[in-house]
Amino acid sequence: MKILVFGAGAIGSAFGGFLSKGHEVTLLGRKPHVEAIRKRGLKVSGIWGRHTFRPGGLATCIYDLDRSAPYDLILCTVKSYSTSEAAGLIKKIMGPKTIALSLQNGLGNIETLCKALPPKQVLGGRVIFGVELSEPGNIHVSVIARPTAVGEVVPGGKITSRVRRIVRVFNEAKLPSVSSADVRGLLWLKVVYNAALNPLASLMRSHYGVLGEDPAARDTMNAVIDEVYAVAHGIGMDLKPATPAGYKKLFYSKLLPRTCDHHPSMLQDLEKGKKTEIDSINGFILKLGKERKIPTPVNAYLVRAIKKAEKETG
């Protein structure tokens, strides 16, 4: 496959690197990272072993891309606040059969892509493994809670042949993946996970494991989970587990232990003086709650606290 990683940061580089062993892959990213890869290759360490990948294509803007033939697959891995801009640029380079697959944090990304691109050419993905970009050209895969899930975003709930093909390609590249008939539901569950962990770990400057050991942090996370479930149920979104209590059991027994050593990308963004994705996680829950008059005071507090931290570090 001819594949473009649109937004080769930590997650995008992980996908692009492993896929480059068997496919024609181009990484589109920021200049320092791209130039480091050009000189020394993409260095990967962590739970999936040590590797040096040399993707066939490297670019820092769309005008550097190989346009001789359309891309089969474009992986959209930009930060959520850049999705609208990315969608406009992806539209310029898509062919009639190109698939755009969102592998992003938060909610609202799929909707944004579908506004700019033909919805039938958009797929959704739930990524729940952790990657840190330690320095330009170097990434570290730290944890994985579940395989990447890929699915259709248009109504229907079917697992199509193109979804199966992408999942097969990912698995052959040693990127654990599964097909899903309900990728939107999985993205909501990821937001429950991220909303509970990311802002709190970022404010405490800690890895996830610390939160599970702190009674006050657990109380906050429990309140966040309750609020997200209330909003999800308020808009008619069916989640599995169906109740906050069921999710908390899964969260504390399996999800949190598997990712206890991970530092959230939100903390990494604050440490680098960058904008975070709080608006597409807790902020999105706050927005939906206000629209439907569902109280979300703990999510609101975390949004305010992270935005204050952004101003202090930016």
Taking the C-alpha atoms of residue 44 and residue 18, their distance in angstroms, rounded to an integer, is 9
Last residue of a domain, one of 181, 204, 238: 181
Q: 45 has which bridge partners? A: 140
pLDDT(204) > 80: yes
Amino acid letter, 212: G
Residues 91-119, mean pLDDT to the nearest whole number: 97
Residues 163 and 236 in one domain: no
Residues 159 and 265 in one domain: no
From CA 201, how far away is CA 113, in angstroms rounded?
Answer: 29
- pLDDT given for residue 56 in this prediction: 94
257 is in which domain, residue-wise? 185-313
Q: Quick one: tokens of 171?
A: 């698995």
Residue 155 has pLDDT above 80, yes or no: no
Res 83 pLDDT > 90:
yes
Whether residues 210 and 171 fall in one domain = no
Last residue of a domain, one of 181, 209, 230: 181
CA-CA distance, 109 to 75, in Å (whole number)?
A: 13
Query: Do residue 161 and residue 217 come from a single domain?
Result: no
Q: Which two tokens stand for residue 57?
A: 């294509």
Give the residue ranges of DSSP H helices in 251-296. Answer: 256-258, 265-271, 282-291
Q: Are residues 16 and 138 in the same domain?
A: yes
List CB contacts of 142: < 8 A, sequence separation 6 or more.
46, 47, 130, 131, 132, 261, 262, 263
Mean pLDDT confidence for 205-224:
95
At 259 the pLDDT is 87
Q: Are residues 66 and 89 in contact, defined by beta-carbon separation less than 8 angstroms?
A: no
pLDDT at 314 over 90: no
Closest CA to 100 of 29, 6, 22, 1: 6
Does 269 score more than 80 pLDDT? yes
Cα–Cα dist 14/16, whole Å: 6
pLDDT of the residue at 94: 95
Helix-then-strand count for the chain, H and E: 13, 12
As a whole number of angstroms, the distance between CA 129 and CA 311 comes to 28
Reported as a single tens digit per residue, the pLDDT across 44-67 is 999 999 999 999 999 999 999 998
**Residue 312 banded pLDDT, cuts 50, 70, 90:** very high
According to the model, what pLDDT value does residue 116 have? Answer: 97
Q: Which residue has the tokens 């959209």?
A: 76
Q: Is the pLDDT of residue 305 over 80?
A: yes
**Would you tell me how many other CB atoms lie within 10 Å of the CB of residue 245?**
12
Please state the domain count of the chain: 2
Inter-axis angle of helices 10-19 and 161-172, nearest 10: 80
Burial of 265 (0-12, 13-18, 19+ CB in 10 A): buried
Question: Mean pLDDT for the chain?
Answer: 96
Pairing relationship of beta strands 177-179 and 51-53 according to DSSP bridges: unpaired
Whether 262 shows a pLDDT value over 90: the answer reads: no
Q: Is the pLDDT of residue 202 over 90?
A: yes
pLDDT at 280: 97
pLDDT of 157 strictly over 80: no
**259 and 301 both lie in a single domain:** yes
Per-residue pLDDT, averaged over 250-256, amounts to 93
Examine residue 118 and say whether the peptide bond preceding it is cis (omega within 30 degrees of 0): no
Give the number of other Cβ atoms within 10 Å of residue 133's Cβ: 22
Residues designated as active site: 190
Write the CATH number for 66. 3.40.50.720
Evaluate if residue 267 carries a pLDDT over 80.
yes
| CATH code where residue 296 lies | 1.10.1040.10
What is the gyration radius of the CA atoms in the chain, in angstroms?
A: 19
- Is the model's pLDDT at 156 over the cut of 80? no
Report the pLDDT value the prediction gives residue 154, as an integer from 0 to 100: 82
Residue identified by tokens 């069916």 is 238
Q: Are residues 117 and 12 in the same domain?
A: yes
Give the mean model confidence (pLDDT) for residues 294-303.
98
pLDDT at 197: 97
Report residue 156 as tokens.
């229907």
Please name the residues in contact with 296: beta carbons below 8 A apart, sequence gap of 6 or more. 227, 230, 231, 285, 286, 289, 290
Digit-coded pLDDT (tens) for 106-153: 999 999 999 999 999 999 999 999 999 989 999 999 989 899 999 999
